[in-house]
Amino acid sequence: MYTTEFLDLPPLVRAGGRVRLPGSKSISNRVLLLAGLAAGTTEVHDLLDSDDTRVMLDALRLLGCDLQRDGDVLKVTGLGGQLSRKEAQLFLGNAGTAMRPLTAALAVLAASQGGQFQLSGVARMHERPIGDLVQALRQLGCPVADLGQPGFPPLQVGDGGVHALNTAAPIRVRGDVSSQFLTALLLALPLVTAQGPVAIEVDGELISKPYIDITLRLLARFGIAVEREGYQRFVLPQGSAYRTPGRIHVEGDASSASYFVALGAIAGTDQPVRIEGVGLDSIQGDIRFVEAAQAMGAQVTGGPGWLEVQRGAWPLKGLTLDCNHIPDAAMTLAVMALYADGPTRLNNIASWRVKETDRIAAMAAELRKLGATVTEGPDFIEVQPLAGPWQAASIHTYDDHRMAMCLSLAAFNPLVAGEPGVPVRILDPKCVGKTFPDYFETLFEVVTPAADQVPVLTVDGPTASGKGTLASELARRLGFHLLDSGALYRATALAAQDAGVSLDDEAPLAELAGRLALRFEGQRVYLAGRDITDPLRLESTGGMASRVSVHPAVRQALHQLQLSFRRAPGLVADGRDMGTVVFPGASLKVFLTASVEQRAERRYKQLISKGVSANLPQIQSDLRLRDERDANRSVAPCRPAEDAMLLDNSAMSIEDSVVQCLDWWRQRRPF
Ligand SMILES: Nc1ncnc2c1ncn2[C@@H]1O[C@H](COP(=O)(O)OP(=O)(O)OP(=O)(O)O)[C@@H](O)[C@H]1O
Ligand SMILES: Nc1ccn([C@@H]2O[C@H](COP(=O)(O)O)[C@@H](O)[C@H]2O)c(=O)n1
């Protein structure tokens, strides 16, 4: 997951390949609660690992459920409908799928068995309505106290005493604000059916009906057969009891699939985008996003557990759609609308206003930043395709995973705006952790950036100036890939040593360099399967690398390998000729220097701290020799590019150098 302050997406032009989706959030949290309430152990396969499921797991653990990981499987041993702890404080982040059902389940358990629980979340959770559910629970006779603003979390359910519940009369709940209120009651009320059946009646038109279908199907898997009259009246039969199905698989997330369906519809592809983990047989309502995408032009085929998508109509076709049945996935349509031939209007989406953020307002604001004309109303949004040029925009994500994932699709703007397109900056990309922590990594695996549009930042300079330290910190903060080009020359020198090739013998050295079997794995480096991490960093290896690197044929042989490190979202490359030869078009070139005395001192301390014996005067004279050879060789000598920014860090801390370079970087970006 990218934990950077922002993530810059280069302009993208193509997509194709295979994507494996993480488990569905809606199914994961329902299954966890049901398994937690049931007697016995449930093996949960393919559970989503994300912020929202983590808060549910923490809550179940606090309530006394036993949770055991066995590889990819989670074994949940439930409470069997009996409270094992009578008090707890539960923090549920911004997970509506945890807050609403846990409120209902704990309210009835606390009232019928004597208990008291506090449920809270992040600030936004305390702005998300829950009053209709609270009212329904109070009708039943459950004590529920507002700990903040009435009608919103935080809440206290139960008061420690045992209360008789009024299960004879139907419980009335509003259905037009959030279907999660009804889901919460359906999941919780089997707990109080000992004396007779319990009925729930819905006031108003129920929204997001497909989510109720998921709830009913999962209840059935846990042994509860709900009787119903349409979506107005539901009856939990007398004596309902949760029975674990033993093992249960969580489908891939259909809402998450929408980004990749859109990708296939937008991008020109040689091969389709294949989505695995969810298919046309999905039990999730958001699978019907496929129909909407098809109506806009996508070509979609699919089967059990898979979908394949390719571009059909282009530009996409604008449409008007009632999106009540696909509230979450419909957000993706709002961004697809940028690529359409006419306006797209999404109706009946009032629930967007009470989600992780006010999604209608947020979507309108961010699409306008890109240059789109957007009209919004209480329950609709209308997006016009862009008439003028696309703006390079810094997208605010409002701590809303779907805003980040949807708006990433705007990076395909070169397809309508013409070359070279503009990058899109996603602020706070880690918000995708709510449902799809590796979303951006997955995206980068299947997209192709526009030619020469992956940004590069180069750091060149003499030995021990701090290039490697600076470059790796810049790469970390930007979320970019890192090329330590010196490591390639060092590895060539080690390969030559292994093969008994002289460091002066250009042709065989070039041949070795051309077929280097190098592998980088985290901090470790392997050459033909051998771990060379430690020998690679030896001063003697640096000296050998300096001799190897004077040969033009060796440099040529390593050229292509270095270029291959330039991958989305971007690259920080350190070496001697990154800005002058390998990446002459880099957006920012830094030439880092420090006095030879400072550099020798730093290297001396570096070696001593690693437990390597070192001699300061010797290091200084080796540095001078290496500087001399690197700066004066006939090809790619170590010197600043004409457009490089010079940074003498002799008297600067590492952090000062990083801040200075990030400042320069920001100035070069179009945001
Ligand atoms: N600005 C700085 N101030 C103080 N120490 C620094 C600074 N920058 C780097 N150092 C320290 O100097 C040492 C050498 O840095 P580093 O290995 O990054 O240099 P390099 O230029 O990549 O060297 P080489 O060319 O040999 O790969 C490290 O121990 C690092 O922590
Ligand atoms: N782009 C580069 C990078 C390195 N070299 C040569 O390799 C030697 C070792 O480099 P380190 O940065 O790992 O110390 C270095 O002294 C250079 O001779 C190069 O030529 N071009």
Among this protein's residues, is 328 annotated catalytic?
Answer: yes
The response to whether residue 593 sits with its C-beta less than 6 Å from ligand 1 reads no
pLDDT of residue 148: 97
Distance 469 CA to ligand 1 centre (A): 6
pLDDT of residue 202: 95
The response to whether residue 626 sits with its C-beta less than 6 Å from ligand 2 reads yes
Cα–chain center distance at 550: 43
pLDDT of residue 613: 87
Taking the domains of the chain in order of start, what are their residue ranges?
6-22+251-449, 25-249, 456-668
Q: Which atom of ligand 2 is nearest to the CA of 487?
A: 13
Model-level ipTM above the cut of 0.85: yes
Query: Which residue type occupies 593?
Result: T
Q: What number of CA atoms fall less than 13 Å from residue 463's CA on the CB side?
A: 30
| Domain 6-22+251-449 CATH assignment equals 3.65.10.10 | yes
CB-based contact 393:366 (threshold 8 Å):
yes
CATH class of the domain comprising 456-668: alpha beta
Q: Which atom of ligand 1 is nearest to the CA of 652?
A: 1
Contact partners, residue 188, CB within 8 Å, separation at least 6: 101, 104, 105, 107, 108
Tokens of 627: 């500087």
Bond from prior residue into 272 cis (ω within 30 degrees of 0): no
CA-nearest of 5, 14, 3 to 443 is 14
The response to whether residue 338 sits with its C-beta less than 6 Å from ligand 2 reads no
Strand partners, 458: 573, 589
The preferred substitution site among 459, 460, 469 for testing ligand 1, maximizing ligand atoms within 8 Å of CB, is 469
Q: How many helices (H) and strands (E) does the chain have?
A: 22, 33
The response to whether residue 602 sits with its C-beta less than 6 Å from ligand 1 reads yes
Q: What number of CA atoms fall less than 13 Å from residue 164's CA on the CB side?
A: 3
Cα–chain center distance at 580: 35
The b/e string for 549-574 (b: 16+ C-beta within 10 A; e otherwise) is bbbebbbebbeeebeebbebbbbbbb
3-class state of residue 145 by DSSP: strand
CB-based contact 539:529 (threshold 8 Å):
no
Bond from prior residue into 569 cis (ω within 30 degrees of 0): yes
pLDDT of residue 210: 87
Ligand at minimal distance from the CA of 582 is 2
Distance 651 CA to ligand 1 centre (A): 13
pLDDT of residue 389: 87
Question: Which residue positions form the known binding site for 3-phosphoshikimate?
Answer: 25-26, 30, 178-180, 208, 328, 355
Catalytic residue, from 52, 132, 286, 328: name it: 328
Q: Which atom of ligand 2 is nearest to the CA of 577?
A: 1
Tokens of 195: 């004396």
Helix ranges (DSSP H) in 114-191: 131-140, 180-188
What single string gives the DSSP state of each residue in 469-496? Answer: HHHHHHHHHHT-EEEEHHHHHHHHHHHH
Residue with tokens 């997406």: 9
The response to whether residue 133 sits with its C-beta less than 6 Å from ligand 2 reads no
The response to whether residue 653 sits with its C-beta less than 6 Å from ligand 1 reads yes
| Domain 25-249 CATH assignment equals 3.40.50.300 | no
Give pTM, 2 decimals.
0.91
pLDDT of residue 177: 81
Distance 464 CA to ligand 2 centre (A): 11
The response to whether residue 10 sits with its C-beta less than 6 Å from ligand 1 reads no
The response to whether residue 462 sits with its C-beta less than 6 Å from ligand 1 reads no
* Burial class of residue 520 in the structure, from the number of CB atoms within 10 Å of its CB (0-12 exposed, 13-18 middle, 19+ buried): middle
pLDDT tens-digit readout, 334-369: 999 999 999 999 999 999 999 999 999 999 999 999
Distance 486 CA to ligand 2 centre (A): 4
Cα–chain center distance at 395: 15
Distance 227 CA to ligand 2 centre (A): 73
Tokens of 554: 């060796």
Q: Would the CATH topology of 6-22+251-449 be identical to that of 25-249?
A: yes
CB-based contact 230:262 (threshold 8 Å):
no
Instruction: Please state, in angstroms and rounded to a whole number, the distance separating the CA atoms of residues 532 and 72.
Output: 32
**Residue stretches of the chain with pLDDT short of 50:** none
Instruction: Please state, in angstroms and rounded to a whole number, the distance separating the CA atoms of residues 323 and 330.
Output: 6
Question: Which residue positions form the known binding site for ATP?
Answer: 461-469
The response to whether residue 311 sits with its C-beta less than 6 Å from ligand 2 reads no
Query: Which residue type occupies 553?
Result: A
Instruction: Please state, in angstroms and rounded to a whole number, the distance separating the CA atoms of residues 47 and 331.
Output: 24
In three state form, how does the secondary structure of 610-640 look?
A: CCCCCCHHHHHHHHHHHHHHHHHCCCCCCCC
pLDDT of residue 557: 98
- CA distances (Å), origin 572, targets 211, 401, 424, 455: 45, 27, 19, 9
CA-nearest residue, atom 30 of ligand 1: 466
The preferred substitution site among 485, 603, 625 for testing ligand 2, maximizing ligand atoms within 8 Å of CB, is 485
The response to whether residue 577 sits with its C-beta less than 6 Å from ligand 2 reads yes
pLDDT of residue 427: 98
Distance 654 CA to ligand 1 centre (A): 9
CA-nearest residue, atom 17 of ligand 2: 546
CA-nearest residue, atom 8 of ligand 1: 466
